[in-house]
Amino acid sequence: MPLKAVRYKAKNGRFRRRAREALARGEKAPEVDAGHGAPTVWREEFVSICGRLARLGLSDPEMADVIGVAEKIFRQWKYTRPEFAAALAQWKGAADDRVERRFYEKAIGYSYPSEKIVVINGEVQRVPITVHVPPSDYACMYWLENRRPDIWKRARIDDNKRASDEDRLSDAELFRQARIESYEELFTTSRSTH
């Protein structure tokens, strides 16, 4: 590796370390050494622009592309400009909260107003309706496996173990086992109701 590249890497590493240390102390991180490279394209309105873009769910590379800077510069601004990093974190959190709410609604089911176009007595009419979207089994399982893993992940492992045990049984043994389980269930249900 040429000596010039080695110096650049060492200097770049020192800059990142100095920036992290300054941010940890609550200070503004140092700017890139003056006189090296192109002048910065930073403008204060990037804070509000990127905040709105983050709220819409854009990733860092997508935001960098929208404002016309390289990804590396965008990441550097997050280290050197605390107000920029704070705005991104705040708005990305808002986008994440929105997605979480929508996922929860998908897990429990939801309704929304709509309209249906119908023909009544030869006349086209718009009729307001409420559309009901049923809960998603996959969303429910995903939600429960992550929110209550002690109950739901164990149950899935037990089902998998049982399925592999059933593969080894003959049809007659499976039928016998199902009959025993149904009698046990009937017995426990009838005892609990009396």
pLDDT tens digits for 20-65? 777 778 776 666 554 555 666 888 888 888 888 888 888 889 999 9
Predicted structure pTM score: 0.46
pLDDT at 113 over 50: yes
Q: Is 134 helix (H, G, I), strand (E, B) or coil?
A: coil
Query: Which residues, at least 6 apart from 46, have a Cβ–Cβ distance to it below 8 Å?
Result: 67, 77, 84
Averaged over 80-92, what is the pLDDT?
A: 87
The C-alpha atoms of residue 57 and residue 99 are separated, in whole angstroms, by 9
Query: Which residues, at least 6 apart from 18, have a Cβ–Cβ distance to it below 8 Å?
Result: 29, 30
- The encoded tokens of residue 3 equal 């000596």
pLDDT at 128 over 90: yes
The C-alpha atoms of residue 158 and residue 149 are separated, in whole angstroms, by 13
Question: CB–CB of 25/10 below 8 Å?
Answer: no
Closest by CA position to 45, among listed 84, 99, 89: 84
DSSP state of 25: T
Please give the radius of gyration of the chain, using alpha carbons only, rounded to the nearest integer. Answer: 30
Q: Is 126 helix (H, G, I), strand (E, B) or coil?
A: strand
Give 1's pLDDT tier (boundaries 50, 70, 90): very low
Question: CB–CB of 73/39 below 8 Å?
Answer: no
The C-alpha atoms of residue 98 and residue 36 are separated, in whole angstroms, by 42
